[in-house]
Structure 1
Amino acid sequence: MRFQTPRGTHDMLPSQAHAWHWVESSFSKLARTYGYSEIRTPMFEDIELFIRTSGETSDVVSKEMYEFVDRGGRRLSLKPEGTAPAMRSYVEHSLGAAGGVTRLYYVTPVFRYNRPAKGRYRQHHQTGLELIGSPAPEADAEIIEMTVRHFQALGLRDLEVQLNSIGREACRLAYREAVLNHMASYLADQSEEFQATAQKNPLRLLDTKDPETRAALEGLPPITDYLEPESKARLEAIERLLAEAGIPYRISPDVVRGLDYYTETVFEITSGDLGAQNSLCGGGRYDNLIKDIGGPPTPSVGVGMGIERALLVLTELGLVPSAEPPMAFAVSGVPEASASVRSLAREVRAKGMACLWDVEGKAIKAQMKQVDRSKVRFALIVGSDELAAGTVSIREMATGEQVVVPASEVAAWLDARR
């Protein structure tokens, strides 16, 4: 029997690894320049963590979680998103005990049982940012700016922030009633399950892609009409900060996000390079999340970005850089040169450069075929003449040009040509 990857999953193959490393390292470097520290959380958590934070009626909890009971009778779930585990860790380990703001970033797999599609997997990977401990609009603006800078660093242009506020609890309660009143006749014709979901969280209707539901929403006043003065002032402050940073944005009343823990600011990042399916990622503020999982009231804001989605877009636009080939392949022209070749390879690697060699003792013709297949920049050839003279013949594979260099100077010679 031949086994395959489970439906909705994929292997990262050697030919794809450089693209993944490029995205992940670019993100991590950016996060560190803003003073963020990496956090890593387990692949699975107590299922109640996600029920309490994402909402029992959310698609994530009601339809998409990989849940199981372990041998100790504990009800667990593979993590469907990265924010709740990061917040759980923040509370459990008292990361905010010293006071002030805590800045965290992560790169993690997440798991959702959804319908697989192009760029959409049941196991996918997220990069994320969390700024914990500040209610200031400057915190929201920092997260949004970092998200835009991340995609700009990868080469994406024509980026725009779709910005909205879903206000405080009183505002959301009033708007929920407004949505239900506006949609009453439409909901009456829907299934009991649809009606029950809408009753529990009517704001999710705004996030729908269903054409009929979207048509029924026509004429509904935006939630910004219901904002309290403090929420309006926050939104206006974020607008000023984004304008100051030169980041294009627009107020988008349809942006509400699909998880229950969001409060106040919500946003998505879109790119004009992408056509109709132009959304890259989203995030927002969740001032009640830490309190909901047993911690003290702690204002927080963050974002999650899908790596597969980004790579799909970057590949289609031709923005993924070519993989850097290995620097060299050390070739033994005669059996008695094998020890010298191994020593040479070690010296090159000690300088931080990749160097291959033939582990099977093949003839030089077969080794040179390996050199071609490996796509290295240089072949380091040690034959009987070179062995006797203490030299190495270095062939540049792209041009065929060859020079002779003392064996003790090869590593430095290559280092100068990185």
Structure 2
Amino acid sequence: MYKEFNIDFKEQKGWFKFQQWLIDKLTDTEGALIPIGPEALQKWPKAEKDYQVFLENASRLMIRFKKPERLIKMIVNIIDEQLGTTHTAMLLYKEDKNSFILIDSKGESGVKIPIGFIRMTFDNPLIKIFDERKNYIISENGVLVYENIVSLMKNAETIEKHKELADLTELALRQMELLKANICIPLYYKKSLIGVLILGAKRSKQKFTRQEIGFFMTLANDAAMAISNAQLIQNLQERIDEIKDLYTKEHRVFIHTAVALATAIDARDPYTHGHTERVTQYCLSVSEELEGIPEAQAYRNFKETLHIAALLHDVGKIGIPDAILNKRGKLTKKEFEKIKEHPAIGAAILTPIKELGDVVKEIRYHQERYDGKGYPEGLKGNDIPLVARIIAVCDTFDAMTTDRPYRQRKFAETALQEIRNESGRQFDPIVVSAFLLAYEKGKILRNHRK
């Protein structure tokens, strides 16, 4: 049984890990002991495994939805059907209304007001607590659990110490009662409150355990990122639709839209700010050295395909958690495997946009290696599209010559030598020659240390 939890009792930290795990299993959210028998003991590992499977399945489903409202309805529906709560609902911030709107509500005891008619401004006590992060004063994990707050409000010392917060918390409790909420979990994205997940009681009448609350917190974090990504894609699609209606053959506005999306992606990581713009400039410079080759001429519009693909090559990173993208240190194997998903995620996100055409495959394959050891499909040589092979060289050069959280940038000459060394292995020799030629001609911006 111990092996199932990877606990090494030969080390002191192994005993501490086991003790902490045991405390979590034997106590409810208030720290009280949970009565258990042999049957419950046998179910612990399975329940923990089931939650993990549920999270993985939910995450895979989330990325498929391009519209935030549909995504929220899916999340509410699967919680209602599979996790045994009497009521599940979600509020989402709508910028055009400057309010949090009830998007969906399911269950046997849910809110009876029609969907969309509940609107909460930032003055609402529940929203105010979450928006101003006062929930972390009330609760260590930031989750508001009704019975815990009721117990807290009976503590005279706590009320005396936080008088102003006590009044606000009392109002928030009344709001939770109106919503029939047993638990309220905030959804934050880039430090901004974008929604609230509302849960009723458990159908089993038992209290939520720490493990269950932790599970819902993880689900809320995943949902926040997925909703924000869906909003970003929806905004892009809406903008593209506008362009189609106004300019049938005009591509410049579309390029500007792609630039805006690329800028939004770069903004997630201060260390890669400007990365997309530089890679695009490098690619266009290299394209001037390759325009005459048959592969380039086979494209309907070689330069435009390269331009758009370079701008959007990292769009899949919106599906990668900030904690991994911005990590100050070496990635674990599991984290690196997550990073490797970004070309396929980017292709999946952009496939519905028919106007992109062949651009999608260039984005999917820009991390392939010339020797066939790349990802996601291990394509080799000329099986990798030319545009993708160009992006691979330019992307690598910029990555090596800019600072990252875990290392300083390399000298330009050092990076160039590494690219020469990888010619025929990681990179297409023809593209490498074109890149080096463009660099020598001064077409590659020399804004790096020499």
Q: Which has the higher strand share?
A: 1
Q: Which has the higher helix share?
A: 2
TM-score, with normalisation over the residues of structure 2? 0.25
Which is bigger in relative contact order (C-alpha 8 A, separation at least 6)?
1
Radius of gyration: which is bigger? 1
